[in-house]
């Protein structure tokens, strides 16, 4: 009983020592966390305008096609692709907001609206900072958050770290892969941009530099609801784009058309959220109601990455834990001579 009590006390003391050491390390490192990353000047992204979206799902089908992803069936008849959320095989999805009688589009009361769900390509992505093997990376020029299946070890840290819940694990894969939107980066070399923007009939999803997309979003917010204006489709050319730069991309350069301005909320989602994202969104319905999380303006990636690298860099955390366990073990090890002597004494007393 005494040995057991001593062992438990030793474990508690050892655990407390380890906890104190770790706490001191964390506090000191958090005070000097790395700087928060910002959007690259030539960063590419998307502008999604929910007031222009008609819910046709053309972008969903195009995304499946160019990424060679299989259909996901949720209906009994299994006649067409019917995913309910993004997954390891569905990188882009249009979700629907419904309320009451659903009489009016883009109305919170008795209305309906749509919202695009895909990777936001954060300026300082948590999935990249959490990945221990650099399978998740952020391109320093385009800012696209990419994924390397060959480097991935299937730990799913990125799944837990993303505040938007975007990286998804392919549980049916024997090698354990992650699936997410990569802004069709594999098509850029052939002059094709994001498939979702290429096929959108209304320009609800627009591809371009994030800087130019933000300017376009603010232009729309400055207009009066119901006013007619020119809406671009496909790809938004850069404001200082040269003919050589324009020639890089295939497709019609000018796909503008006349459309009425929506009754927008005066907010560009993604401009400030979580340190900024390269995918921006406009909506007439509260962003939280259409499924977007309410996030702080600062990304937690800098802090979490600093903590992780501090704990495991140079084997700091494993060594601290090992030292604590060694201390506990040594306190509770009984020498062979002492054990033999105690056993002999008990035997002698019993013989008397």
Domain shared by 49 and 28, yes or no? no
Q: What's the pLDDT band for 185 if we cut at 50, 70, 90?
A: very high
Number of structural domains in the chain: 2
Domain shared by 172 and 248, yes or no? yes
pLDDT at 55 over 90: yes
Q: Give me Rg for the CA atoms of the chain.
A: 28
Domain shared by 155 and 291, yes or no? yes
pLDDT value of residue 57: 96
pLDDT value of residue 131: 92
In a domain, 306, yes or no: no
Q: What's the pLDDT band for 315 if we cut at 50, 70, 90?
A: low
pLDDT digits (tens, 9 = 90+) for 238-275: 988 888 888 899 877 779 999 999 999 999 999 999 99
Distance between CA 181 and CA 204 in Å, rounded?
17
In a domain, 172, yes or no: yes
Question: Average pLDDT, stretch 121-128?
Answer: 96
Domain shared by 122 and 268, yes or no? yes
Domain shared by 57 and 185, yes or no? yes
Question: Average pLDDT, stretch 202-215?
Answer: 97
Percentage of the chain with pLDDT > 70? Answer: 79
Domain shared by 178 and 292, yes or no? yes
pLDDT value of residue 280: 98
For the entire predicted model, the pTM comes to: 0.81
Q: What's the pLDDT band for 336 if we cut at 50, 70, 90?
A: low
- Please give the sequence-ordered ranges of beta strands (E in DSSP) within 196-302, or none if there are none: 205-209, 228-231, 257-260, 279-282
In a domain, 72, yes or no: yes
Q: What's the pLDDT band for 31 if we cut at 50, 70, 90?
A: very low
- What CATH number corresponds to the domain at position 271? 3.30.70.20
CA atoms within 13 A on the CB side of 132: 12
pLDDT at 233 over 90: yes
Q: 312, 306, 267, 309: which is closest to 288 by C-alpha?
A: 267
pLDDT value of residue 87: 95
In a domain, 39, yes or no: no
pLDDT value of residue 337: 56
Q: Residue 344, class by beta-carbon neighbours within 10 Å (0-12 exposed, 13-18 middle, 19+ buried)?
A: exposed
Q: What's the pLDDT band for 329 if we cut at 50, 70, 90?
A: confident
Q: Which helix (H) or strand (E) holds 202?
A: none
Question: Average pLDDT, stretch 143-148?
Answer: 97
């Amino acid at each position: 009983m005494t040995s057991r009590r001593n062992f438990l006390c030793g474990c508690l003391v050892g655990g407390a020592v380890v906890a104190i050491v770790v706490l001191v390390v964390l506090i000191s490192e958090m005070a000097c966390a790395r700087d928060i990353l910002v959007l690259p000047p030539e960063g590419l992204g998307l502008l999604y305008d929910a007031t222009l979206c008609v819910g046709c799902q053309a972008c969903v089908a195009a995304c499946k096609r160019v990424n060679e992803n299989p259909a996901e069936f949720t209906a009994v008849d299994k006649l067409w692709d019917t995913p309910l959320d993004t997954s390891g095989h569905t990188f882009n999805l249009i979700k629907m907001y419904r309320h009451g009688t659903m009489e009016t589009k883009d109305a919170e009361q008795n209305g309906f609206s749509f919202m695009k769900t895909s990777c936001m390509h954060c300026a300082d992505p948590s999935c990249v900072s959490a990945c221990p093997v650099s399978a998740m990376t952020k391109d320093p020029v385009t800012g696209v958050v990419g994924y390397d299946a060959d480097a991935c070890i299937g730990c799913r840290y990125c799944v837990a770290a993303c505040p938007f819940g975007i990286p998804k694990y392919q549980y049916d894969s024997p090698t354990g892969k992650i699936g997410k939107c990569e802004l069709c980066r594999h098509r850029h070399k052939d002059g094709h941009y994001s498939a979702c923007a290429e096929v959108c009939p209304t320009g609800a999803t627009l591809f371009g530099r994030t800087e130019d997309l933000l300017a376009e979003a603010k232009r729309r917010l400055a207009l009066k609801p119901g006013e007619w204006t020119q809406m671009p489709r496909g790809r938004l050319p850069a404001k200082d784009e040269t003919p050589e730069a324009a020639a890089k991309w295939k497709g019609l350069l000018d796909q503008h058309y006349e459309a009425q301005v929506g009754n927008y909320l005066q907010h560009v989602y993604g401009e400030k959220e979580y340190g900024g994202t390269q995918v921006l969104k406009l909506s007439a319905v509260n962003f939280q109601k259409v499924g977007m999380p309410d996030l702080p303006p600062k990304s937690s990636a800098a802090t979490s990455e600093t903590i992780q690298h501090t704990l495991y860099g140079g084997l700091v955390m494993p060594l601290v834990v090992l030292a604590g366990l060694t201390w506990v073990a040594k306190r509770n090890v009984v020498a062979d001579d002492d054990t033999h002597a105690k056993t002999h004494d008990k035997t002698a007393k019993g013989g008397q």
